[in-house]
């Protein structure tokens, strides 16, 4: 389902910017084994950053590491971690700091957009949805903050969504969590700003990931997306990653407390 416009977008990405300030930076990406997360891991690897990524998808993680090594890139370090296990999360962040020395950039990418009609939501499923889509982002930020504050620099990028803006149906818990990420981003930006730690949010739209292709990418769905977007093509994970790079780099050193939309002009 690749269009001429999609091919043009991929060609443009081969000429993407290089950020010298990212070389050697220690970057942590949650949910980095697939989808947008994998595109972010690869984008930082191409900037010669030292990337550590968390995920529970071991086979996908191994394939990603192997693919990047085969491409001649610095191998990212994979940590198996369920980010909703908050004891394991804190322990894994400590392991990253012990092994790599510090954390310069955190990309809070992990999440789950599984469909869930409002009538199916239970107190238990509500808590599970909030744990994976909101709560873990806060505690990841809390866990990396000491390293960033000590260095008096850092960039935290929280992945939100346009789902709460457009609006969306059949994902009420997900939408609630993603809207809260905007408020959390603003709160943490003020909490950490005195130590030169920046906190921003990225809100993707309908992104053409493998998960989307496997679960929801029907011709009718594509028609609906393109009817709303200004750009009449599907947006690629790599295009989200390029914004994340900018927000991580020193080129955005005065930018914090903001939320940026990557949706082809839907919102």
DSSP letter, residue 152: T
Q: Is 221 a catalytic residue?
A: no
Who contacts 38 (Cβ-Cβ below 8 Å, separation ≥6)? Answer: 32, 60, 64, 237
Catalytic residue among 19, 174, 221, 260: 174
Among 125, 193, 155, 152, which residue's Cα sits nearest to residue 40? 155
End-to-end CA distance of the chain: 24
Query: In the chain, which ranges are continuous DSSP H helix?
Result: 4-13, 35-46, 58-70, 86-100, 123-130, 136-151, 172-192, 210-215, 219-228, 237-248
Catalytic residues: 174
């Amino acid at each position: 389902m690749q269009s001429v416009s999609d091919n043009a977008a991929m060609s443009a990405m081969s000429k993407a910017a290089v950020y010298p300030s990212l070389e050697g930076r220690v970057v942590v990406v949650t949910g980095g084994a697939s989808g947008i997360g994998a595109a972010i891991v690869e984008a930082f690897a191409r900037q010669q950053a030292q990337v550590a990524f968390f995920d529970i998808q071991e086979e996908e993680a191994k394939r990603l590491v192997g693919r990047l090594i085969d491409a001649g890139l610095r191998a990212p370090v994979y940590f198996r971690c369920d980010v909703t296990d908050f004891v394991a999360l804190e322990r894994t962040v400590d392991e990253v700091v012990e092994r790599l020395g510090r954390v310069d950039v955190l990309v809070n990418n992990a999440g789950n957009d599984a469909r869930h009609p409002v009538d199916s939501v239970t107190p238990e499923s509500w808590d599970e949805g909030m744990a994976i889509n909101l709560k873990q982002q806060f505690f990841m930020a809390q866990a990396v903050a000491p390293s960033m504050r000590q260095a008096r620099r850092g960039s935290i990028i929280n992945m939100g969504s346009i789902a709460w803006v457009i609006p969306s149906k059949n994902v009420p818990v997900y939408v609630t969590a993603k809207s809260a990420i905007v408020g959390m981003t603003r709160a943490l930006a003020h909490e950490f700003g005195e130590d030169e730690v920046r906190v921003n949010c990225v809100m993707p739209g309908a992104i053409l990931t493998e998960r989307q292709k496997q679960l929801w990418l029907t011709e009718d769905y594509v028609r609906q997306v393109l009817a709303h977007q200004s750009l009449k093509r599907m947006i690629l994970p790599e295009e989200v990653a390029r914004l994340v790079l900018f927000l991580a780099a020193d080129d955005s050193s005065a930018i914090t407390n903001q939320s940026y939309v990557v949706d082809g002009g839907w919102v």
